[in-house]
């Protein structure tokens, strides 16, 4: 399987597309396809063809995922590849009934997994009481997230589309039951993978200006003008994608307005205790 060629473009052009505006400082050097191109052009795909994802493609994606950094080489994550339409439908019902879960040929569930380390302690006769501390739980989430981002970029590099599904955390106990996950493991999120439908192509969504997220020496307060500029970039993107216009600033604030806005994830801590995690 070879990477899908997209042509050499300048760093300036790629950064301008990512931020929805001219990039600063200028970066005019040519950027080869096999370097930063898959990172800067990655986007979420929610419309897929019914073409299956091959075993070879899955092997490349998982291999890239396992190439991510991992704390102390613990590799505290696993994947569950879900292709069965009925199982995907049941998982979709637990994740906000998002129709693109049904359409994607593959749902790769990314699992934060302490159970393997617990089993390793039993195999080696070594105490693993350190798993009972919040740090170990955090390591599983970080390891799983780093691996998943590698998987998403690798899929994009070979011509596939992806979309993260955080709504699998709406009911992690029911998701774990559906996937027969062992104690001390849970679905951090899902990753839809498939061939994008070219007739319903997704554009590159602008990100916050880099001067908002990049701080030098010390953290700076949020600049309202930068937020207004980003709102304008997002509104322009929504018009191009023929989506209803909505300010990013209001939407982002509403997403964290309270427990009611978390779609059941306000109970995540209790769900993790039910899954066997001990977080001292």
1 occurs within a structural domain: no
Are residues 268 and 176 located together in one domain of the fold?
yes
52 occurs within a structural domain: yes
257 occurs within a structural domain: no
Enumerate residue ranges in the chain where pLDDT < 50: 1-6
2 occurs within a structural domain: no
- Burial level of 198, CB count in 10 A (0-12/13-18/19+)? exposed
Are residues 15 and 123 located together in one domain of the fold?
no
Are residues 20 and 143 located together in one domain of the fold?
no
Are residues 184 and 146 located together in one domain of the fold?
yes
Are residues 167 and 269 located together in one domain of the fold?
yes
Domain residues for 17? 7-41
pTM, 2 dp: 0.88
Domain count, the chain: 2
Note the pLDDT of residue 2: 42
153 occurs within a structural domain: yes
210 occurs within a structural domain: no
Note the pLDDT of residue 30: 54
Are residues 109 and 127 located together in one domain of the fold?
yes
In this structure, the dihedral spanned by the alpha carbons of residues 13, 16, 21 and 23, taken in order and rounded to 10 degrees, is -100
Note the pLDDT of residue 6: 47
The enclosing domain of 236 has a CATH number of: 3.40.109.10
Q: 39, 162 in Cβ contact below 8 A?
A: no
Are residues 33 and 58 located together in one domain of the fold?
no
Are residues 14 and 67 located together in one domain of the fold?
no
d(C-alpha 46, C-alpha 163), whole Å: 7
Are residues 34 and 160 located together in one domain of the fold?
no
246 occurs within a structural domain: yes
Are residues 15 and 64 located together in one domain of the fold?
no
């Amino acid at each position: 399987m070879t990477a899908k060629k997209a042509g050499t473009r300048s760093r300036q052009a790629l950064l301008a597309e990512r931020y929805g505006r001219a990039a600063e400082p200028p970066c005019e050097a040519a950027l080869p396809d096999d370097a930063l191109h898959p990172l800067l052009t990655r986007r979420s795909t929610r419309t897929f063809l019914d073409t299956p994802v091959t075993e070879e493609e899955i092997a490349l994606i998982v291999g890239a995922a396992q190439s991510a950094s991992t704390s102390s080489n613990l590799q505290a994550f696993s994947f569950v590849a879900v292709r069965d339409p009925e199982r995907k439908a049941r998982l979709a019902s637990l994740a906000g009934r998002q129709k693109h879960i049904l359409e994607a040929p593959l749902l790769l569930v990314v699992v934060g997994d302490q159970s393997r380390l617990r089993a390793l302690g039993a195999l080696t006769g070594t105490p693993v009481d350190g798993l009972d501390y919040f740090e170990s739980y955090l390591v599983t989430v970080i390891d799983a997230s780093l691996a998943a981002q590698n998987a998403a970029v690798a899929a994009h590099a070979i011509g596939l589309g992806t979309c993260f599904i955080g709504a699998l955390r709406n009911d992690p106990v029911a998701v774990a039951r559906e996937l027969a996950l062992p104690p001390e493991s849970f679905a951090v999120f899902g990753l839809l993978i498939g061939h994008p439908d070219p007739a319903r192509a997704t554009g590159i969504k602008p990100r916050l200006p880099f001067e908002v997220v990049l701080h030098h020496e010390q953290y700076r307060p949020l600049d309202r003008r930068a937020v207004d500029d980003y709102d304008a970039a997002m509104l322009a993107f929504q018009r191009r994608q023929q989506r209803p216009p909505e300010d990013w600033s209001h939407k982002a604030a509403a997403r964290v307005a309270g427990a009611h806005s978390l779609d059941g994830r306000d109970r995540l801590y209790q769900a993790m205790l039910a899954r066997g995690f001990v977080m001292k």
